Amino acid sequence: MDELGIAFLKNYQVWHHRRLLVTATQKPAPELLFAANVLERDSKNYHTWAYRQWVLAHFNQPSLWQGELDFVDNMLTEDIRNNSAWHHRFFVVWLNGVRADEEDREEVLRRELAYVTAELLMHVCDLIH
């Protein structure tokens, strides 16, 4: 499936078949690495991002979520205009509460607004220089 996944990145049947296999094997951790490798080739591939989110949400293991915010931050550093990465950040922060210790939604909102503002300002400064 790895070879087919690389050869047919935009074929939803390949991704669906991977879901069936990883559900049967119950070994989701390697799938995040595979998805990361695919995103190196095509950082905006909808199927890959959707699959990555499925792995995280379906198995919902703390070890899978560890480092996910860093992963998406690196993707945004590579391309601030990557809407898929921004969507994934929203997914990570709001929908699955990676930062479980932060129950104050107002604080999380302030942190996220500060993050977006800082990233956009850096991008604008890079464009000016």
Give the residue numbers annotated as catalytic, written as ranges.
10
Task: Report how far apart, in Å, the C-alpha atoms of 30 and of each of 96, 100, 115 are.
Answer: 20, 24, 29
Residue 28, helix vs strand vs coil: coil
**Residue pair 67/47 in contact by the 8 Å Cβ criterion:** no
Number of neighbours of residue 120 by Cβ within 10 angstroms: 11
Instruction: Give the other-Cβ count within 10 Å of 41's Cβ.
Output: 10
CB of 32 closer than 8 Å to CB of 67: no
